[in-house]
């Protein structure tokens, strides 16, 4: 019997979970490589890698093979039991990281990993205050949500005490400028911590940030900023936690985005890209921090902690990243994509900025300047709609006042022809949308 009566709304029984953003207009029934296919038979180029996760594309044969074999052999265990896929994945992750990041915990989602990292930092430092960026997104569980400022804070009652927002060093929209009119991030960072120090009750535990803010508008931290932030943390006895949910594992052209600046965090969290679309996350830290946490009774016992099935997938992801040199691929393909986007910026007055690194790029529209207040949001929605009609799934930052910023992150396995086709569709969509508005 068919799952839906023709003509009915397929989402009528679903709780809507994304604020004001609607579900996509068609049901997706299949995905392969860089494309997803709808119930009506339409093909859409996927320039968001699913939920910014599928770095190897969809239905990658190596992952399909691993899932089939592993699920028939060893899928789920009691959380106190270990298995070869788990011990192997943590060992291999440690091998991709600089010292002293060699102790790991495997979980399911980015929110869960950030939750565990913040919980560990509070226990180890004996403090409770957490700093994160004013446009941060770290997840929807308690500690992760309290450190999230871009959305979802209103209507749920009081947040936990001791969470502070740090200004975003956005070079396109600078809040503190020098004599040259450019962002003065040194002064901005100093002012931010002056405010935090004034509000703190002397219990600063951790700073949780992304090295490139993704949901915050694809904002790449200025050169030197991360090192200066790490110094601020050391001065206050805080732990630096880097959330590399979207930037980790070759997405930006380096294995980890923090390597670009040579700054090693106290705790690293991975998620989306680690499972390449399957639910897998990790927390990695030093033996010293892990030992202190253990001595103080660290507890993060979940149903799917250190599960063998997703861990096996994580090992396969590492296999493919190494075998196919996808860090190099992300650099090369990212340069090609960025070049195409910069040509669009030169051709379309409404494209105000192109930014990002590797295959995590942002394109910001200047709709407000051209169309008046709210113009960027309207233009972003129209460009997204036209892209969809033309066969390209694009993603605007679906947060208040940021509807004119696109996050562009195709799989690292995309072909040059698919990148060219996506840029051509975006060009056509921009032309049609600006003419229509």
pLDDT in tens, 386-412: 999 999 999 877 665 666 899 999 999
Task: Using the predicted structure, report yes or no on whether residue 271 has a pLDDT greater than 60.
Answer: yes
Q: Which one of the listed residues 115, 129, 137, 357 is annotated catalytic?
A: 137
The answer to whether residue 21 sits within a structural domain is no
Half-sphere exposure (CA, 13 Å, Cβ side) for 239?
27
Q: Catalytic site residue 246?
A: yes
Q: Is residue 14 part of a domain?
A: no
- The runs of H, that is alpha helices, within 279-415 are 287-295, 308-323, 326-347, 367-371, 375-390
Together in a domain, 228 and 285: yes
pLDDT of residue 356: 97
Do 422 and 283 lie in a common domain? no
Question: Hey, how many other C-beta atoms are within 10 angstroms of the C-beta on 342?
Answer: 13
pLDDT of residue 376: 83
Q: Is 272 part of the annotated catalytic residue set?
A: yes
Same domain, 260 and 336: no
1-15, 56-70, 320-334, 417-431: lowest mean pLDDT where? 1-15
CATH number at residue 410: 3.90.1150.10
**Does residue 417 lie within any of the structural domains?**
yes
One domain, residues 271 and 382 = no
Give CA–CA dist 92/247, Å, rounded: 18
Pair (201, 342) in one structural domain:
no
Q: Which of 304, 323, 342 is the last residue of a domain?
A: 323
Q: State the pLDDT confidence band at 101, using cuts at 50, 70 and 90.
A: very high
In a 10 Å sphere around its CB, with 0-12 CB exposed, 13-18 middle and 19+ buried, how is residue 89 labelled?
A: buried
What's the whole-number average pLDDT of the chain?
A: 94
- If asked whether residues 226 and 93 sit together in one domain, one would say yes
Catalytic residue among 103, 185, 407, 418: 407
Q: Is 343 a catalytic residue?
A: no
How far apart are the C-alpha atoms of 93 and 91, rounded to whole Å?
6
Residues 210, 254, 290, 377: which is the catalytic one? 210
The separation between the first and the last C-alpha atoms of the chain, rounded to the nearest angstrom, is 44
**What is d(CA 407, CA 89) in angstroms, rounded to the nearest whole number?**
29
What pLDDT digit, counting tens, does each position of 247-259 carry?
999 999 999 999 9
For residue range 116-166, list pLDDT tens digits in order.
999 999 999 999 999 999 999 999 999 999 999 988 899 999 998 999 999
For residue 288, tell me if it sits in a domain: yes
Domain count, the chain: 2
Q: What per-residue confidence (pLDDT) applies to 6?
A: 55
User: Which residues, including other chains, have CB under 8 Å from residue 24's CB and lie 6 or more apart?
Assistant: 388, 393
Question: Does the pLDDT value for residue 435 go beyond 90?
Answer: no
Mean pLDDT of 171-177: 92
Q: Which of 30, 59, 63 is nearest to 44 (CA)?
A: 30
- Per mean pLDDT, which range of 102-106, 210-214, 301-305, 432-436 is the poorest? 432-436
Q: Out of 135, 272, 338, 386, which one is annotated catalytic?
A: 272
Q: How far is CA 436 from CA 32, 360, 380, 396, 397, in A?
A: 33, 29, 13, 19, 22
Same domain, 315 and 418: no
Write down the pLDDT at residue 18: 83
Calculate Rg over the CA atoms of the chain. 22
The answer on 277 and 142 residing in a single domain is yes
Domain boundary among 290, 323, 356: 323
Domain boundary among 308, 323, 338: 323
**CATH number, domain containing residue 81:** 3.40.640.10
51 is catalytic: no
Q: Does residue 11 lie in a domain region?
A: no
Residues 190 and 216 in one domain: yes
Residue predicted with more confidence, 151 or 222 = 222
Residue percentage of the chain with pLDDT more than 90: 86
Dihedral of CA atoms 59, 63, 64, 70 in degrees, nearest 10, equals -150
Report, as an integer, the average pLDDT of 418-424.
Answer: 98
Residues 428, 416: Cα–Cα separation, whole Å: 19
Percent composition of the chain: helix, strand, coil (DSSP 3-state, to 5): 40, 20, 40
Are 193 and 213 in the same domain?
yes
Query: Looking at the structure, do residues 282 and 403 belong to the same domain, yes or no?
Result: no
Do residue 235 and residue 150 come from a single domain?
yes
In which residue are the tokens 């979970």 written? 17
Residue of 115, 243, 266, 327 marked catalytic: 243
The pTM score is 0.95
Question: Looking at residue 23, what is its pLDDT?
Answer: 86
Q: H-type helices in 77-166, by residue range?
A: 84-96, 110-125, 142-146
185, 246, 255, 331: the catalytic one is 246
Q: What is the DSSP-derived secondary structure letter of residue 81?
A: -
Say if residue 370's pLDDT is above 60: yes
DSSP 299: -
For 209, the domain range is 74-323
Distance in angstroms (rounded) separating the CA atoms of residues 433 and 429: 6
65 within a domain of the structure (yes/no): no
Q: Mean pLDDT throughout 27-48?
A: 97
The reported pLDDT for the residue numbered 7 is 58
């Amino acid at each position: 019997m068919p799952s839906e009566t023709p003509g009915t709304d397929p989402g009528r029984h679903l709780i809507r979970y994304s604020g004001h953003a609607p579900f996509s207009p068609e049901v997706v029934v299949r995905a392969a490589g860089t494309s997803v296919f709808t119930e009506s038979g339409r093909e859409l180029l996927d320039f968001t890698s699913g939920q910014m996760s599928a770095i190897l594309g969809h239905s990658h044969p190596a992952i399909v093979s691993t899932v089939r074999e592993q699920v028939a052999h060893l899928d789920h265990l009691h959380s106190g039991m270990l298995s070869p896929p788990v011990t192997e994945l943590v060992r291999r992750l440690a091998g991709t990281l600089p010292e002293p990041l060699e102790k790991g915990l495997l979980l399911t989602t980015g929110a869960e990993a950030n939750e565990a990292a913040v919980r560990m930092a509070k226990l180890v430092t004996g403090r409770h205050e957490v700093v994160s960026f004013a446009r941060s997104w770290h997840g929807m569980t308690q500690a992760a949500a309290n450190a999230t400022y871009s959305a979802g804070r209103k209507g749920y009652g009081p947040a936990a005490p001791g969470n502070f927002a740090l200004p975003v060093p956005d070079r396109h929209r600078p809040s503190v400028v020098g004599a040259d009119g450019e962002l003065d991030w040194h002064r901005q960072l100093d002012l931010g911590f002056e405010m935090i120090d004034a509000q703190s009750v002397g219990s600063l535990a951790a700073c949780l940030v992304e090295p490139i803010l993704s949901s915050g508008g694809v904002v790449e931290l200025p050169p030197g900023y991360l090192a200066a932030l790490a110094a601020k943390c050391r001065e206050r006895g805080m732990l630096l936690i880097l959330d590399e949910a979207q930037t980790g594992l070759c997405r930006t052209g380096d294995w980890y985005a923090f390597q670009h600046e040579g700054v090693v965090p106290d705790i690293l969290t991975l998620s989306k890209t680690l499972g390449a679309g399957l639910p897998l996350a990790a927390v990695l830290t030093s033996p010293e921090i892990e030992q202190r946490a253990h001595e103080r009774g660290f507890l993060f016992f979940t149903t799917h902690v250190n599960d063998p099935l997703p861990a096996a997938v994580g090992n396969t992801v590492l296999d493919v990243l190494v075998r196919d040199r996808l860090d190099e691929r992300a650099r090369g393909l990212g340069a090609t994509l960025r070049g195409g986007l910069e040509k669009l910026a030169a051709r379309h007055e409404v494209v105000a900025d192109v930014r990002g690194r590797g295959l995590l790029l942002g394109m910001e529209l200047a709709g407000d300047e051209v169309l008046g207040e709210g113009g960027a949001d309207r233009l972003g929605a129209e460009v997204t709609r036209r892209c969809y009609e033309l066969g390209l799934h694009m993603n605007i930052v679906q947060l208040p006042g940021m509807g004119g910023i696109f996050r562009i992150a195709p799989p690292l396995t995309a072909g040059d022809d698919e990148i060219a086709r996506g840029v051509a569709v975006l060009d056509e969509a921009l032309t049609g949308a600006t003419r229509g508005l």
